[in-house]
Every structure is written in structure tokens, then in C-alpha cells.
Amino acid sequence: MSINLDQIDLLEDTWAEGVPYDQFELLRDEAPVFWHDHPEYQGFWAVTRYDDVRAVSRDHVTFSAELGSTFLADMDEASMELVRMTILNMDPPKHSRFRRLVSAGFKPRMINALVDHIQELAQGIVADVEGEDEIEFVERVAAELPLQVICELLGVPVEDRHLVFDWSNRMVGAQDPDFRVSEEDGEAAMAEIYMYCDALAADRRANPRDDIITALALAEVDGDRLSDQELNMFFVTLVVAGNETTRNLISHSMVAILEFPELKQQLVEGIDDDELWASATEEFLRWGASIHNFRRTATVDTEIAGQAIKAGDKVVIYYPAANRDPSHFENPEVFDARRTPNDHVTFGGGGTHFCLGANLARAQIKTMLRTFLRRFPDVEAAGQHKRMRSDFVNGIKYLPVKLNG
């Protein structure tokens, strides 16, 4: 059924049903910079073409993350002060100074050193589901590897990883009744994670270790130590970004494997083909971007693709739309495990906010799926998966599978 511009709706109820690729196709063709009203907040410009998404991503001077945050919601000044303590909501030069505090832990050299350990963790996760007929893939598999890895990097005891799982679900699931029952519950999750971070940081100041929490607890920016609030917000950002996003990338990848039998056969038959798995991982990333969008705020009067934008306007860039732009990807609606080149924007469109953990996410997606399919090549869906109701996180919250192993 064809749609028209009057039917465009990119809010949370739409995403709970599925990625609105039909709407994105219409927008790219007829209104690539489209004014979208919002029932609660100031409306926004929806940007859907690949080249425009990249251009906005790379111009932090004209399109600020700090001026109005990266989220659709309008916030009061107290809330804005808090979110501006996260690198997600900073502009250079402040962003650059804070990013340097943790960037060493995410460089390719560091990730390569972790590869063998990631493989060990993935094998342990697969071993834990051995002998079961049916499992819920998200919690038992997709969530486990990112949780274990980010907890180890941060310095969170592995036995506390399910606390982290619960906190991140309650914080990012604000629009989904399966995750949060009230605003108070989300605020309680924030308070709990802050208290946990404070205790962890206090311990590391007394007993330094080789982990990110120690680095943050002892770090200085322009000669000053991070405040408790700054450290807390850093911790929350790393926990959510290092756990939630990779979990959803692995889950979306498994959905694609289950939906396309020929893809599963190709991956199973090529299980030892490193080149295939490298390109397939990039295609998984293009196919199932874990974040729908990021917002920027125009700092000056400007224009995008000929559309006038006023200073103060919200500009929202849509990654799934850019990743299916036929002007950049041949047959974008086809999953091509050997697609090259594959310059998707799932880790951002480049520039200042390019994902710090991109190489870590790649390593985890490839290792977890490869290890799982090597052991369970006949896996199949055991029911319909359920999507998260969110206009920000492209989440899979439930994915039952039969292992047939």
C-alpha cells in the first residue's frame, strides 16, 4: 500500500512495528529534509539521504550535539546540564578532551589483543546453552558477550553484569512498557548505577587497576579531576553504548540469518572463510543499525539539500534511511554478505562522534555469530521476535530460537 507525506510518522509506535523503510523511500525521493511535528516537543527536520546524513555528521560547527542534546525530547536546563556531561552530548574542543580519556582502550591494537579472549567468552556462552532445545536468544546469547566484555573493560566484576543489564534496559527503555513502568523507575535505575559507580571509583582510587574506571577515577581534564557527576555520566554512557548497541546488532544479525535461509547456508558453508565473515559483518551492520537517529541543533541559519534551516532548529539524521539509499548502495534492499564496498553509517557518518567502540563491536558480532553457527548450524526461529518501542534505539527485546543441535 502506497503512502503519502501526510502519513509520515517516525515516532516510537512506528518503530515498535518495524523499521519504516517505505517512509524513508518516500522521504528520500520527495522530501529528503522533511519537517516532522511532534505531539510533545518542538518538531524537527528529518534527514534521510546518505550524503546529507554524512554532511551533518561531519559538521559539528553548524550542527551541534551540545546545544540541544542528541535526543528528540526537549529538556529543562537542569537536565541539559546533566546530559552535557556525556561525550555523546559534547562538541569539540570539550568532546576531544574527554574522548581522549578512554580512547586508548578502544584502539585497533587493543581490540586485536582482546580477540582471543572474546573467542573464549563466546565459546563459554555457546557451551552454556548446550543441551537445550529452545532458548531466548537476546538474553542468553546476544546480551551476554557485550555485557561480559564491557564489564571487563570497565572493571565491573563479572558477577555484577546482570545488574548492568537491568539498569541499561530500564534507562533506554523509557518508551517501552516491557522495560519501564514509570518515570520513577528510570530515575531509580540512574540513582542505582550512580551509587554503584561511586563505590567502584572510590575503590579504584585506593586500589588502582588496569581498567577504564581506574583511568576515569584518576583522570584530569585541564588540570581538574572529573567530578562525581561527570564520572557517573561517563560510566553510564560506556555501559549503555558498550552493551545495549552491540546486543541489538547481534540480535538483528540473527533475525537476518533466520529470515534468509540462503544466507544461513552461505555462512555455515563458509564458516572458515575469513573474507566472507568480514564482509558479512559489515552487511549485518548496514542491515540492522542499532540506533535509529541522532539529533543535532543548527547553530546558525543554514540549509541542507536546498531546504532552509533556522538557527535553533532540530536536525535529526536517520541511519537506517541512509543505509538503504539506492544512490549509494546497489540493490540496498538485498542482504549481500559479500557487499563491497560497504560504507554504511551505522557507527555514525564520520566526524567527531564516530563510534569509539566500532572495532570492538565488529569483533564481537563476527565472533559471537560465527561461534554460534559453528555449533548450531540448523538454528531456526521458534516464534516471532519482538521489537523495542523506541524512537531512538533499534532494539530487539525477544527472539526465541530452536537450536536443533
Domain CATH code at residue 215: 1.10.630.10
Average the pLDDT over 30-49 and give the result.
97
CA distance 385 to 366: 21
Residues 6+ apart with CB under 8 A from 260: 335
The Cβ of residue 359 has, within 10 Å, a number of other Cβ atoms equal to: 18
Find the domain containing 315 and state its range. 5-385+396-402
DSSP string, 310-372: -TT-EEEEEHHHHHT-TTTSSSTTS--TT--S----TT-SSSTTS-TTHHHHHHHHHHHHHHH
Task: Please say if the pLDDT value at position 312 is more than 70.
Answer: yes
pLDDT of residue 15: 95
Average the pLDDT over 267-286 and give the result.
98
Would you say residue 234 lies in a domain? yes
- What is the band of 263 on the pLDDT scale with cuts at 50, 70, 90? very high
Would you say residue 100 lies in a domain? yes
pLDDT of residue 174: 64
In the chain, the percentage of residues whose pLDDT exceeds 90 is 74
Would you say residue 390 lies in a domain? no
Tally of structural domains, the chain: 1
pLDDT of residue 349: 87
Average the pLDDT over 230-240 and give the result.
87
Q: What is the pTM of this model?
A: 0.93
Would you say residue 169 lies in a domain? yes
Average pLDDT of the chain, as a whole number: 92
Would you say residue 391 lies in a domain? no
* pLDDT tens digits, one per residue of 291-301: 999 999 999 99
